Amino acid sequence: PVSNLALRNTSESYQREKERERKERESNSEVRCSQHGEKVQFFCKTDHEVICTKCRKESHRSHRVQLLTNAVRQHKVRIKAALSPTEKALQSLKNGTCQKAQIVKYIQSQAQQAEKQIKAEFEKFHHFLRKEEEARMTALKKEVERKRGKVEERIEKDILRLSDRVREMEEEMETEDARFMQNYNFILQRAQYTTLDSGLSSENLLNMAEHVGNLGHRVWEKMTDIFLYYPVLLDVNSAPGDFFVSDDLASVGKSFHIRPNSVPFQENRLVLGSEGYSDGFHCWNIEVGDSKHWTLGVCRHSANMNLVEPLTAESGFWGLSRKGDSYMLLMSYPNSFRIRRKPRTVQVQLGWWYTIGSVNICRTVRFVDVSDGSLIACYTGIPDGVQLFPFLIPKERLSHLRIAPANPALVLEHTFVETQKHQIVDYILYLFIGALIIWVWLFGVSERL
């Protein structure tokens, strides 16, 4: 008890000393008037500065002045009011209701969905490969049985033939001596062994090329018939909340409700392709079906961020739109037109073409009816080097816009052919210009002669 009392007295003494030091520091750190050296006790609302008693009587006599404590209380209230949004933001960060926290949750839901799809897709791969392996092994076993059966059948025939010969020779050797000696040469000739057919021709062996030749490539070719390739994949992160993008990222439709796994605070009005194109030739088919209200084309990625400007070529959108029976390009002026045969699949072509009346090649976007290859409409003079992204806007809730699957080999071939066509046209154009220059030069020489 004595020791506890001494400890308590020591603690209280220490606390009193700390309190005295604090008050002394506050006393020494009091703000004093720079002009008179006195302690400031007032706040001038006119000049927004703290003042002392002499300042109030002299230079601030006609100003609006209040006690410093009142001014501090009022200004602290203002600070707290100004700090309120920050405190709310801090609280939303802590309890997970802020935008960034929702994005983190959305990323997690995306990861779970992607993991589920990856597992399902690879299970399809595994199932296909297992079935293909079984089919290949069955075909191999069938050929083994067939070829082995043929060889074994020939072996049986050879056994019978040689057994008959051995038995015949044994019977000849059992005949009467004189007859045996008379037929000796014939018996010897018959007894001598004749080489059997080995049966090692390629027809009797397994066709290894059929079973293992280019096996991986042939399996891959079969996979392309089952696992489709889409030249354009949609960026689900760019889709508005009322758009539904399919799991294969190839189809988009307009739903009746905001989907639960939509991107937080996403206010776009279209869905973009996941990849942009700044050069070269690119094309993709879009199945519009019987839908009468849609818009499709290409745009700058930055143009999609502006939700106020209309969708026009001037604002970075080059597209084709259908409204009922009318079609129109995305221009700032009226340009609607009608088509006798309504396309069910539209091909978008982005590349370089020569324009009528000009020898210059320019970047162009063309819209083609896939059914007959007819040109619906086109844009010319697209800015060079600008990365353009495909975009789709479905406007009917019961219909979808879908990227049509394509053969990767045919896509590459088409791109190569288009490139070669432009190179050939360039070559012919250069030859024509060269011939024209030579003709003009020869004509001038003949005139001088």
pLDDT confidence of residue 348? 96
Find how far residue 262's CA is from the centre of its chain: 17
Alpha-carbon distance 199 to 205, whole Å? 9
Q: How far is CA 213 from CA 136, 202, 216, 409, 412, in A?
A: 12, 16, 8, 21, 25
For residue 8, is it within any domain?
yes
For residue 100, is it within any domain?
no
For residue 433, is it within any domain?
yes
Domain end marker among 226, 253, 273: 226
Alpha-carbon distance 400 to 251, whole Å? 7
Same domain, 398 and 423: no
Alpha-carbon distance 377 to 286, whole Å? 15
pLDDT confidence of residue 416? 45
Residue range(s) defining the domain that contains residue 35: 31-95
pLDDT confidence of residue 58? 87
Extract the residue ranges of the chain whose pLDDT is less than 70. 1-14, 18, 20-29, 193-200, 258-267, 303-309, 354-360, 409-435, 440, 442-449
Same domain, 216 and 281: no
Same domain, 262 and 383: yes
Q: Indicate the number of domains in the chain.
A: 5
For residue 364, is it within any domain?
yes
pLDDT tens track for 129-174? 999 999 999 999 999 999 899 888 888 888 888 888 888 888 888 8
Contacts of residue 393, defined as CB under 8 A and 6 or more positions apart, other chains included, come to 269, 270, 271, 294, 295, 296
pLDDT confidence of residue 303? 62
Which of 269, 259, 285 is closest to 402 using CA atoms?
A: 285
Which of 316, 318, 312 is closest to 366 using CA atoms?
A: 318
Crossing angle of helices 215-226 and 99-173, rounded to 10°: 130
Same domain, 311 and 341: yes
